[in-house]
Chains A and B, each alone.
Chain A
Amino acid sequence: MSEATIEVTTLRKRFGQTVALDGLSFTVAPGTVTGFVGPNGAGKSTTMRVILGLDSVQEGTALIDGRPYASLKHPMRHVGSLLDAAALAPSRRGRNHLLWIARSQGLPVSRVDEVTELVGLGSAARRKAGGYSLGMRQRLGIAAAMLGDPPILIMDEPFNGMDPDGIIWMRGFLRGLAAEGRAVLVSSHLLSELPDVADHVVVIGRGRVLADATIEELTAGASSLEDVYLRLTTSAVEYRSGADGKQRR
């Protein structure tokens, strides 16, 4: 795998009066799983959308190997992403969901079958996505992210709605991706989901980086991860209470 990175530099974004991103900077290195943690509304999803060129910022840059995402040809061959597993047309079969994405990236149909196999979706791929459980949707979303065999992966809350078996599978899967040399950015609102997975953690609150360290560095001198997390995010949460920071929807 190439030395692919995500570099986020001083992102600032405002939704009306609400400051969503407030000078956010961090880097995701190849061969690592980077946890992206913060309370709901901290700006995790917004940051990911900015990296993928979906949302604009007033200031700052988010670069993939030094280039903006939007300038990439067949971007999903560079960055695989899973933002919302529920983003599916219910009446479209899982396989066809993968097929249109493959078409958009100029990928062969054989790739669709490979990723279906990879995530263990199997025969369910022939069914309509509307009938999928949340866990199956997550797997389909990961299959879509893996279509372009990308060196970089971005996943927003991939553990959501997964059963214990699924969570175990997902952890192993993400570690395997990093072991292959890929740069993986995984968000979660629960730090506790990450220790077995993430090498590195970026904790954010109110659109700012609160901590950017390895798991070991974070837990040094603290009784538990929860303590660390609470200590880091309390001020952010208190500050936010009353003014709902969740983005417009």
Chain B
Amino acid sequence: MSSLLQASHIAGFRATLRAEWTKFRTVRGRMIGLVFAALMVVLFTFLQANGKHTGYCTTPNPSSCVAGHPYVPTGPGGEAVADTYELVAKPLNGDGTITARITSLVGRIWAGPANEAPSLADTRSGLASWAKAGLLITPSSKQGSAYAAVMTTGGHGARFQYDYTHDQAGLPGSVSSSAPRWLRLTRAGDTITGYDSTDGTNWHAVGSARLTGLPATVYVGLFATSPTTSEGSATQATARFDHIAIAPLADDRSQAPLAPSHGATIGTGPHDFYTTLGTGGYRRAGDSIVVTGSGDIAPAVASAGGDTASDSLLFGLAIALIVLIVIGTMFITSEYRRGLIRTTFAATPDRGCVLAAKAVVIGSVAFAVGACASAVAIPLGEHVMNANGNYIFPADPLTVARVIAGSGALVALTAVAVLGIGTILRRSAGAILAGVALFVLPTFTGPGIIGPTSSATAATWLYRVTPAAGFSMLGLLPRSGLVSYPYTMSNGYYPLPAWARLLVLGAYTAVALFAARVVLRRRDA
């Protein structure tokens, strides 16, 4: 293998590469094909995006349906979030601390039909695993605001969470009157630290966060919320707090502890996307305050509206892929057809070198077409869908870059793979058919068999083991461990992590190329 790295080999490869690039670019049909492929991506993305219109019906009265999309808050990091909860709070100026004890956390789960708006009329008792109740600091009651909170949960013990996506675990176990949880949140400048305790004496720091730019006055208080279960049922949680104390820390120690005085229901209403159960609120019961809430403070998942900027890319990309399959296959089969392959191998007797040079040329060209086309098509599709009133899941620039590079890689790996198939079969028609059957069809049999749950497994496997895995590079819906949600194909979530999707496709390419190399070496030209 080390001989491959010798200078003469590198020089030889460079000459072959230049020859193959010259060969590629001097057939005008190929260049026209590349431009056509890129235009198809943009055109079909536009058409598909333009065909998408959404409307929604407000929950209390199903007959009142409007165009556009429900409101989805955007978090401090630009991500889509759920921010719906019950808050009982008061302003805190400067540094300070809030302490409270939770003695119970119980809940209700909607038990009625899925197509009806949830109400408390038909519920069963039960607590969602991510039902949350605890202490929260936020600069604003506006949805999507920064926050930090320490809480107890239905099934995940005590947690410290901030800004929707960050999570640290504290004491395990659930809350009851015999096993209450003490929680404390302190503010020191921009730093918020969360503590938990079983007895109110021995405190344990769960986590801390820097909320940069936090104003001098923030709201601190008690909160409760309860998210939709993974089966889709809305839930409600009720928590009982006592030993509540809010104290400014700084210099004025003389100020007496104050009880929270102001209640607010954040983010419920007919236009918020999050489905809630009942109306939240709070009541005083002696020294205790009982807070009831429904909703979630967490990243939004596909239930917020599953459209993403890359959704509309699929068909155009498939057409571009077919064009590149034709070009990639014929990059070698046309040489076999004309007998030109003998001139090629007379010029470069190292056939592996020729195959590698061809792979680099077609791979680079295909990558450029796929990436450039999607770099234009994604913002275009997003713009058109926005203009049509669709909600599009926000994606950070890095994720968009991943989808753009992924589209390029999908086209490139496929083009290189069919180059291998073309080398093995030597006939254009057969190799193109094989290429389309192997690299395009699986993706389009996918949606057809997703439908019912029974075949969802089949579709999932399709995107795990066939080259369709490459297409799943388009998936950019965020998954979060902080949300109980079925991250399935039918909800728009592809299986496999992003890197593995390309690896599956790349494995097919590697096998095709390796087989081509073996065949080339053994066969007369």
Contact = CB atoms under 8 A, between A and B. Distances in A.
Contacts of B28: 91
B349 A100 contact: no
Interface string B340-381: 101111111110000000000000000000000000000000
Interface string B6-39: 0010011001101110110011110000000000
A89 B338 contact: yes
Contacts of A88: 338, 340
Contacts of A106: 11, 15
A87 B343 contact: yes
A76 to B, nearest CB: 6
Given A49-B525, A87-B340, A103-B19, A75 B26 contact: no
B339 interface: yes
Contacts of B525: 49, 54-55
A88 to B, nearest CB: 6
Interface in B485-525: 524-525
A9 interface: no
A96 B26 contact: yes
Given A99-B22, A104-B347, A87 B338 contact: yes
B23 A52 contact: no
Main SS class of interface, A: loop
B334 interface: yes
A144 B343 CA distance: 9
Given A75-B347, A84-B342, A87-B342, A104 B524 contact: no
Interface in B22-67: 22-23, 26-29
Contacts of A97: 26
A81 interface: yes
A93 interface: yes
Contacts of B15: 74, 103-106
B360 to A, nearest CB: 14
A53 B345 contact: yes
Chain B, interface size category, equals 20 to 34
A70 interface: yes
Main SS class of interface, B: helix
B34 to A, nearest CB: 15
Given A84-B342, A101-B343, A106-B15, A70 B349 contact: yes
B347 A76 contact: yes
B340 A76 contact: no
A68 B514 CA distance: 25
A130 to B, nearest CB: 10
Interface string A41-74: 0000000010011111000000000000111111
A80 to B, nearest CB: 9
Given A55-B524, A93-B26, A75 B346 contact: yes
B422 to A, nearest CB: 15
Contacts of A56: 524
Contacts of A127: none
B521 to A, nearest CB: 10
A203 to B, nearest CB: 25
Given A54-B524, A100-B26, A106-B15, A81 B346 contact: yes
Contacts of A96: 22, 26
Contacts of A87: 338-340, 342-343
A49 B347 contact: no
A164 to B, nearest CB: 27
Nearest to B15: A106
A91 B347 contact: no
Nearest to B30: A91
Contacts of A86: 338-339
A168 B218 CA distance: 100
B256 to A, nearest CB: 87
B342 A104 contact: no
A100 B23 CA distance: 6
Nearest to B357: A104
A103 B340 contact: no
A90 B337 CA distance: 11
Nearest to A83: B342
9 contacts: A53-B345, A53-B346, A54-B345, A70-B349, A72-B349, A76-B347, A91-B28, A101-B19, A104-B18
Interface of B: 8, 11-12, 15-16, 18-20, 22-23, 26-29, 334-335, 338-340, 342-350, 524-525
